[in-house]
Structure 1
Amino acid sequence: MDIGAEKAEIIKRFEKVHDMSLIRAVKNLLDFGLSRQHEEDEALEASINRGLKESSRGEVMPHNEVMKEIRGRYKA
């Protein structure tokens, strides 16, 4: 089942709920998940921006050097 179908199924089932405690619990869970997702999105964006700034300053390492270093570090 894809994410759209999952959401539709949850909404359909949630519309049948009449227990205020359960509704509040679901709302709190959604609020927590959305705030955490927002924080992760901001952290990812900040990381990308740091990388772009480093690249524009020439603070980069060629791919072949990175691979050589990694292979040396993880040789069996």
Structure 2
Amino acid sequence: PKGCVITHASFMFESDTMVARWEPVFHSRPGDEAATLLFLPLAHVFGRMVEIAAVRGRVKLGHQPELSANALMP
């Protein structure tokens, strides 16, 4: 597998940018609480970034324990 070094500063900048750009996800309507479901594994850099962005954006985050198609479909 290939990889690259991701600094703490670049990771936090990306998380803050995600919160700013994904306004509908990270900011709810008055009276509602913002929430999202994370189905990516935390070993995946984007999954980890969404988790950190949710904390920084004060969003309730749920984790999907199973990644099969049947578990993800309503």
Higher helix share: 1
Q: Is the radius of gyration larger for structure 1 or structure 2?
A: 1
Structure scoring higher RCO (CA < 8 A, sep ≥ 6) equals 2
